[in-house]
Structure 1
Amino acid sequence: MPTSTGVNWAEIVRFPTTHPHYKEYEQRCIDARLQRSFIQDSWELIIRGLQRRAEFMEAGAWNLRVPEFVALDKLLSPRAKTLMMPSVSGTPLALWSGGIQVSQYVRGKGYDTLESTVYGGILDKMTNPGFKIWLGSEDWGPQGALWDTISARYVEFAASCRDTMHVFMRTHDLESTFYGEELVNWRKAKRKKETEPDGLTYHVLVGMDSFNVEKVFVREKEAKAFLLTFLGQLQSRFERNMLEQGVNHRYRSEVWRDNERAYRDTLRKKTYESYREYMEHPLRQTVEAFHEAEQALCPDKDFNPRKFSSVMDELLRTTRAKRGE
């Protein structure tokens, strides 16, 4: 696993405080009035935990718990009321899934998210948009496990003092933090079975940049059904009428701009399997055919699905080469 340019990651793992951005983390924590013992202990656990998770991933041991992150969770637990809740009390709490743009949308609507909490805000500023903590490679790598750890504590504490949280979704991804961690932890904290109403309020976002539709549900099953039905109908309609003359091709292209943005938002987080599924899906050829027809009617160079597909092709070639396929 190649490290970021000009960084001796192995040396940083041995001596975490030599990390080039440790001072920034330290200052942000001091500004939040956190104790120096917590600052140093948490930093060492984060750095060594990221390395351990990277080793697990490389060995294919995806389900092993990271001991350092278990210890980090124990460090956060007695401080959860201070660290894992927003600084302003009483605001509605939210979870999100579908790219960082969804988080920005949610906070713009007046909801607080994990990134709004004291500690979540510190880590957010150091992982978005650039990676300042994980320097073991230039991709998202093991950082998801770190966010899963603090998200679990956030959801557990929220469940202890709130009757509901609001979930904003524009994708249905079973590998996402929401489905893999947050929903499970909320139901566990509320002692709810999968078949029972879980108390969460679901907001399905359809075309954040084009349709701008938000539908609210009180059951995950209904929210999921609406989202998947919409996406299925959209795909079917496009395949039937993609090249039909006299339709508003420009309006339809906005849907694909949404799709491109969603991929760009989560580009570094997607798995190899996700890319392979995207590349092998027949919808890709349909989009390319549609783009050619649209360009003939109304040229626009802002978004080119074919160019985007070429990026995916190159990524797949690189990934396969690394895996020796």
Structure 2
Amino acid sequence: MTEAGFSKDVVQSLWQLVLGGLREQETINPASADPTLTRTERRRRREDNSWYHQAVEMLRENNGFATPKMALWSGGLDVCRYAQSKGYTPMEFTRAGKAFNELEYHRDWQLQGPLWNILSKFYVEQATGPVHIFLRTYDPDSVLMGREVPHLRQLQRINPDVELLWHPLYTTEHGQIMEISRNRELVDEAVFPTRDMCVAVLYEYLQYHHNERNARAARSYEEMHKELSKNIHGKSAQG
């Protein structure tokens, strides 16, 4: 944290807040497992950790999330690194994200995970302009699609400058991440104004151009078929 430019006093305060948050999470998690609660209600309870919220607010006050070109991503950590290599700043490459990403606070991810969810929420709240979203896989239940993007939609109502720009990605057999154009070709950059256009291009490329011997893109291909299968079966069940 010191190497990231935070003062010694801020580091000490943050450390105490994180430790307090871990202890608090041990109490919160069992209560949030109530089977009578909806999935959304359980998530909200898991993230109702005042220690974590204070820690993230302190990071915000100390410019922990400042970024000139905000980026979100889905599909593996190398997608995060790809976005950064293109000149954008995912949360993991902000001052706060770099420091937090270096540490494993607890071996039980159930205690640490809510902190990262709160971090991501605070990160997207800093959006004041275009946000670039890089997709190698599309999962409607992911944190990106279930929480970050809806929160950005709310921000757009207040600030129309918060524009969402979508990049569909594919990994070649040689491990190179490329973007998929409207013509379903692999190019250096392809930006779409809507999620649906981006996802359609991603699905179609995987369906018609994916080489099944390309293990590097196997996960994206398998998840595409799983999602399409659910959609098809859902429509059949509805008649």
What is the TM-score with the length of structure 1 in the denominator?
A: 0.53
Matched, 1:156 2:132: no
Alignment counterpart, residue 15 of structure 2, candidates 39, 46, 66: 39
Identity of aligned residues (%): 23
- Match for residue 184 of structure 2? none
Matched, 1:225 2:200: yes
Matched, 1:134 2:134: no
RMSD: 3.6
Conserved in 2, the CA contact under 8 Å of 1:50 and 1:134? no
- Uncovered stretches (5+) of structure 2, i.e. residues with no partner: 181-189, 231-239
Other structure's SS at 1:212 match: strand
CA distance in 1, matches of 2:197, 2:6: 40
- Match for residue 89 of structure 2? 112
Conserved in 2, the CA contact under 8 Å of 1:49 and 1:67? no
Matched, 1:213 2:187: no
Counterparts in 2 of 1:261 and 1:190: CA distance versus 1, 3 Å: closer
Counterparts in 2 of 1:31 and 1:57: CA distance versus 1, 3 Å: same
Measure how far apart 1:42 and its partner are.
Answer: 2.9
- Whichever structure has more helix as a proportion of its residues is 1
Counterparts in 2 of 1:210 and 1:150: CA distance versus 1, 3 Å: closer
Counterparts in 2 of 1:198 and 1:41: CA distance versus 1, 3 Å: closer
Conserved in 1, the CA contact under 8 Å of 2:70 and 2:89? yes
Measure how far apart 1:229 and its partner are.
Answer: 2.6
- Match for residue 233 of structure 2? none
Other structure's SS at 1:216 match: coil
Deviations 1:57-89 (A, max 9, x none): 755554322365354224433641534424xx6
CA distance in 1, matches of 2:124, 2:111: 21
CA distance in 1, matches of 2:191, 2:124: 20
Matched, 1:179 2:145: yes
Q: Which amino acid aligns with 2:90?
A: T
Counterparts in 2 of 1:262 and 1:210: CA distance versus 1, 3 Å: farther
Measure how far apart 1:156 and its partner are.
Answer: 0.4
- Whichever structure has more strand as a proportion of its residues is 2
Aligned residues: 208
Counterparts in 2 of 1:98 and 1:262: CA distance versus 1, 3 Å: farther
CA distance in 2, matches of 1:102, 1:93: 14
Counterparts in 2 of 1:226 and 1:125: CA distance versus 1, 3 Å: same
Q: Which moved more, 1:27-36 or 1:64-73?
A: 27-36
- Match for residue 253 of structure 1? 213
- Uncovered stretches (5+) of structure 1, i.e. residues with no partner: 1-26, 127-131, 236-250, 264-273, 282-325
Measure how far apart 1:50 and its partner are.
Answer: 4.4
Conserved in 2, the CA contact under 8 Å of 1:202 and 1:220? yes
- Match for residue 146 of structure 1? 115
* Greater C-alpha radius of gyration: 1
Other structure's SS at 2:125 match: helix
Conserved in 2, the CA contact under 8 Å of 1:203 and 1:216? yes
CA distance in 2, matches of 1:68, 1:211: 37
- Match for residue 56 of structure 2? 76
Matched, 1:200 2:164: yes
Q: Which amino acid aligns with 1:226?
A: V
Conserved in 1, the CA contact under 8 Å of 2:75 and 2:137? yes
Counterparts in 2 of 1:43 and 1:59: CA distance versus 1, 3 Å: same
Q: Which moved more, 1:173-182 or 1:197-206?
A: 197-206
Other structure's SS at 2:140 match: coil
Q: Which amino acid aligns with 1:155?
A: V
